[in-house]
C-alpha cells in the first residue's frame, strides 16, 4: 500500500469511519509477574504497556492495524515464565513477547523465544548475559554493569564514603550479577569492603548479617536485592541503628519501597536509572500525566521503561511489512528493531549490540546513561 493510502486508512480508522476490524490485529505477548513478590514491578510494567498501546491505537494503530496485548502472569518464577512463553509463542501465535519481569526468569525463558525465532523484549532485566542468549533478545532496561559504577562514584563524591559493607542474594541471576558488578566497581574505584554477607530468596530475618555488618562500622551498605528481601533489609538495618547510605541496583528502584519500608526506613537509598519523576522533558511530563489519569497513582521507572518499549516496537512495526505469515513477520520485526531510535519518558534511546559468550554478535542492550538519585521522605531526589 502507498504510504499516503496507509495514512488515510489510519485516519479513517482513528475517526471511526472505517471499523478497526477491517484492519488486521497485531498480537503482542506480555509475560510479566502479576502476582507474588515480583508483582511489585510487574503490575507497573503491564500498566506502562497498556497505556502506550492504548495511545498508539487511539492515534490509528500501526499503519491502520490495531495492537492487541495478550497478557499472562508468569508469577516471577522461571518455570512459569517458560510455560507462559510457550503458550504465547506456540498457542497464541503472538508476533513477539515482552518480558519476563526478572532476569532470573529471562535466563530460563528467553532461549525458547530465541529457538522459535521470536523477539523477546525485556524492559526490566538488568543482569549480565541476558542478551548474549541470541539475536532475538532485546532489552531497554539499562544493565547493572552500566549503572552501578556511576551509582558508586556519585555516592562517593557526595558522601565522601571511604569503605562499604556488601550484602547480596546469592541464589538469583539478577542479585548475583548485581554483586559481581558492584564488586568490580568497588575494586576499580579502590573502595575497601569491610565484610561481604549473603541471603537467599524468601529469607525474612536479616539481623545476623546486619549485626555483623554493623560491627565493621561501614560508611555505606552496598545492597544487591529484589524488593521482597531488600525492603525488610532496610527496615531491619534502621532498627539496628544502621542509618548509613544504602546503595542499590535496579531491584531497589521502585516507589513501592516507601510503602514497604515506611517511617523513614527507606531514606538514604541511592539508585541509578535513566528515568526520574523529576525530569521535566515534555515526553516524560506527558507520560506521567497520562499514567496518573489512567491508573490513579504515580508511575515508576518500571512503567516508564515498558511504556517506552511499546513505542520502540511500534516504530519498528511501522517499518515492517506485515504479511500474515508469522515466521516471516517475526523475522522482519527482529530486523527492524536494532536501528530504532526513540525519545520517550526515559529520554533519548538507542540499542547497542551485545555479544554472546564466544564474542559473536547476539542480542541488543540499552545504550542510555543513568541519573543517580537518593530517597528522602518518600521521594527520589536528584
Q: Can you give the binding site for ligand PYR, defined by CB under 6 A?
A: 102-103, 124-127, 174, 250-251
Q: Phi, psi at residue 80, to the nearest 5°?
A: -70, -35
Instruction: Write down the least CB distance from residue 111 to ligand PYR, Å.
Output: 16
Instruction: Write down the least CB distance from residue 49 to ligand PYR, Å.
Output: 17
Residue nearer to ligand PYR on the CB measure, 57 or 107: 107
User: Which residues lie below 8 Å from residue 306, measured CB to CB, with a gap of 6+?
Assistant: 44, 45, 46, 47, 48, 49, 52, 98, 123, 124
Per-residue b/e over 87-96, b at no fewer than 16 CB within 10 Å?
ebbeeeebbb
Instruction: Write down the least CB distance from residue 369 to ligand PYR, Å.
Output: 17
Residue nearer to ligand PYR on the CB measure, 48 or 60: 48
Instruction: Write down the least CB distance from residue 336 to ligand PYR, Å.
Output: 25
Instruction: Write down the least CB distance from residue 180 to ligand PYR, Å.
Output: 13
Residue nearer to ligand PYR on the CB measure, 74 or 219: 74
Strands (E), the chain: 25-32, 66-73, 96-98, 120-122, 137-139, 164-169, 193-199, 221-224, 246-248, 269-273, 341-344, 347-355, 361-366, 371-376, 379-381
Residue nearer to ligand PYR on the CB measure, 250 or 346: 250
User: Which residue is associated with the grid cell 503458550?
Assistant: 87
Instruction: Write down the least CB distance from residue 185 to ligand PYR, Å.
Output: 16
Total number of residues shown for the chain: 382
Instruction: Write down the least CB distance from residue 249 to ligand PYR, Å.
Output: 7
Instruction: Write down the least CB distance from residue 142 to ligand PYR, Å.
Output: 10
Cell of 158: 557526595
Residue nearer to ligand PYR on the CB measure, 50 or 250: 250
Question: What burial class does residue 284 get, using C-beta atoms within 10 Å of its C-beta: 0-12 exposed, 13-18 middle, 19+ buried?
Answer: buried
Distance CA 272, CA 373 (A): 6
SS3 50: helix
Residue nearer to ligand PYR on the CB measure, 38 or 332: 38
Residue nearer to ligand PYR on the CB measure, 63 or 114: 114
Residue nearer to ligand PYR on the CB measure, 102 or 366: 102
For residue 364, which of 110, 47, 38 has the smallest C-alpha distance?
110
Cell of 228: 521482597
User: What is the maximum span of the chain, computed from C-alpha positions, in angstroms?
Assistant: 72
Element (H, E) at 287: helix 282-295
Amino acid at each position: 500500500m502507498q504510504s499516503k493510502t496507509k495514512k488515510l486508512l489510519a485516519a479513517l480508522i482513528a475517526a471511526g469511519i472505517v471499523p478497526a476490524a477491517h484492519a488486521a490485529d497485531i498480537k503482542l505477548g506480555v509475560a510479566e509477574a502479576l502476582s507474588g513478590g515480583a508483582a511489585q514491578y510487574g503490575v507497573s510494567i503491564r500498566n506502562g504497556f497498556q497505556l502506550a498501546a492504548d495511545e498508539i491505537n487511539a492515534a490509528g494503530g500501526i499503519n491502520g492495524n490495531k495492537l492487541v496485548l495478550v497478557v499472562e502472569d508468569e508469577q516471577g518464577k522461571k518455570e512459569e515464565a517458560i510455560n507462559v512463553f510457550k503458550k504465547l509463542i506456540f498457542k497464541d501465535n503472538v508476533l513477539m513477547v515482552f518480558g519476563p519481569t526478572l532476569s532470573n526468569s529471562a535466563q530460563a525463558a528467553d532461549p525458547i523465544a530465541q529457538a522459535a525465532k521470536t523477539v523477546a523484549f525485556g524492559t526490566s532485566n538488568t543482569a549480565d548475559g541476558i542478551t548474549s542468549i541470541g539475536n532475538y533478545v532485546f532489552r531497554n532496561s539499562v544493565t547493572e554493569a552500566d549503572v552501578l559504577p556511576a551509582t558508586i562514584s556519585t555516592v562517593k563524591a557526595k558522601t565522601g564514603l571511604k569503605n562499604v559493607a556488601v550484602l547480596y542474594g546469592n541464589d538469583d541471576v539478577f542479585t548475583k550479577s548485581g554483586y559481581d558488578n558492584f564488586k568490580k566497581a568497588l575494586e576499580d574505584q579502590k573502595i575497601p569492603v569491610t565484610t561481604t554477607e549473603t541471603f537467599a530468596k524468601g529469607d525474612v530475618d536479616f539481623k545476623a548479617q546486619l549485626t555483623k555488618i554493623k560491627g565493621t562500622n561501614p560508611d555505606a551498605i552496598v545492597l544487591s536485592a529484589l524488593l521482597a528481601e531488600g525492603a525488610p533489609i532496610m527496615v531491619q538495618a534502621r532498627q539496628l541503628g544502621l542509618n548509613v547510605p544504602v546503595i542499590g541496583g535496579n531491584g531497589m528502584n521502585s516507589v513501592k519501597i516507601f510503602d514497604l519500608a515506611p517511617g523513614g526506613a527507606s531514606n538514604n537509598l541511592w539508585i541509578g536509572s535513566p528515568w526520574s519523576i523529576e525530569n521535566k522533558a515534555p515526553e516524560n511530563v506527558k507520560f506521567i500525566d497520562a499514567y496518573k489519569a489512567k491508573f490513579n497513582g504515580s508511575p515508576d521507572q518500571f512503567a516508564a521503561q515498558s511504556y517506552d518499549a511499546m513505542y520502540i516496537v511500534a516504530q519498528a512495526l511501522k517499518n515492517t511489512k506485515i504479511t500474515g505469515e508469522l515466521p516471516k513477520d517475526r523475522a522482519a520485526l527482529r530486523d527492524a528493531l536494532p536501528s530504532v531510535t526513540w525519545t520517550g519518558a526515559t529520554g533519548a534511546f538507542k540499542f547497542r549490540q551485545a555479544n554472546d559468550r564466544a564474542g559473536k554478535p547476539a542480542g541488543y542492550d540499552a545504550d542510555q546513561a543513568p541519573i543517580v538519585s537518593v530517597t528522602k521522605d518518600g521521594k527520589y531526589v536528584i
